[in-house]
Amino acid sequence: MIIAKTVKEVREQVNEWRKQGLTVGLVPTMGYLHEGHASLVDRAVAECDKVVASDFLNPTQFGPGEDLESYPRDFEHDCELLEAHGCDMVFYPSVDEMYPDGNGKTDTYVEILDDMPKQLCGKTRPIHFRGVCTVVSKLFNIVVPDKAFFGQKDAQQLAIIKRMVRDLSYGIEIVGCPIIREEDGLAKS
Ligand code: PAF
């Protein structure tokens, strides 16, 4: 599995695959992967010739006091899981690679301005969906996948991403994948 840390490396590799006529699937993640993520990779592997997973803890979707600093990370384990499930490339950028202004700041956001995000958990996390849309939009522009795979567990996020794809005319199919549960029925998270 290729580990790419820069936008340039991802673009060069995806261009190479495109020249060979291969389709590309994207599985966006924030790392600390579990069986739920593995099921997204499995689906992407089944539906696309090549699969890219992103592993990026995105600061713009966390508000003050929302535990960005204590979010768990284990890149080594993430790579093992991704490779075991047939992922071809993991994009593991630094914060500065994704947000060149530094410190995870940007002046350019993608935001759905109607009431949809405000009615959802955006009520209590006002900048969350703006950060999600911004980073997912950036990932779409970097990887330019044919399909992108998201869990139905985050149903609000899935609805918002589908809306963004429609509104911004992205030619990307959004595939919502079933929830994977613990033995006691709790959704894996
Ligand atoms: O669902 C997640 O893990 C994140 O919100 C996503 C889609 C990877 C964007 O950072």
What confidence tens digit (pLDDT) does each residue in 81-97 have? 999 999 999 999 999 99
For residue 68, what are the β-bridge partners?
none
What is the arithmetic mean of pLDDT over 24-30? 98
Q: Is the CB of 165 under 6 A from ligand 1?
A: no
Distance 55 CA to ligand 1 centre (A): 9
User: Minimum mean pLDDT among 100-104, 121-125, 146-150: which range?
Assistant: 121-125
Tell me if 172 sits within 8 A of 143, measured CB to CB. no
Between CA 76 and CA 89, with CA 7 as vertex, the angle to 5 degrees is 40
Which of 54, 57, 90, 154 maximizes ligand 1 atoms within 8 Å of its Cβ, making it the mutation to test the pocket? 154
What is the pTM assigned to this prediction? 0.95
Q: Is the CB of 29 under 6 A from ligand 1?
A: yes
Q: Tokens representing 137?
A: 């939009």
Question: What whole-number percentage of the chain has pLDDT above 70?
Answer: 100
Distance 156 CA to ligand 1 centre (A): 12
Task: Please give the pLDDT value at position 136.
Answer: 98
Q: Can you spell out the DSSP letters for the chain?
A: -EEE-SHHHHHHHHHHHHHTT--EEEEEE-SS--HHHHHHHHHHHHH-SEEEEEE---GGG--TTS-TTT----HHHHHHHHHHTT--EEE---HHHH-TTSTT--S------SSHHHHTGGGTSTTHHHHHHHHHHHHHHHH--SEEEEETTSHHHHHHHHHHHHHTT---EEEEEPPPB-TTSPBP-
Tell me which residue of 166, 176, 171, 136 sits closest to 47, measured CA to CA: 176
Residue 46 burial class via C-beta count within 10 angstroms: exposed 0-12, middle 13-18, buried 19 and up: exposed
Residue nearest to atom 1 of ligand 1 (CA): 29
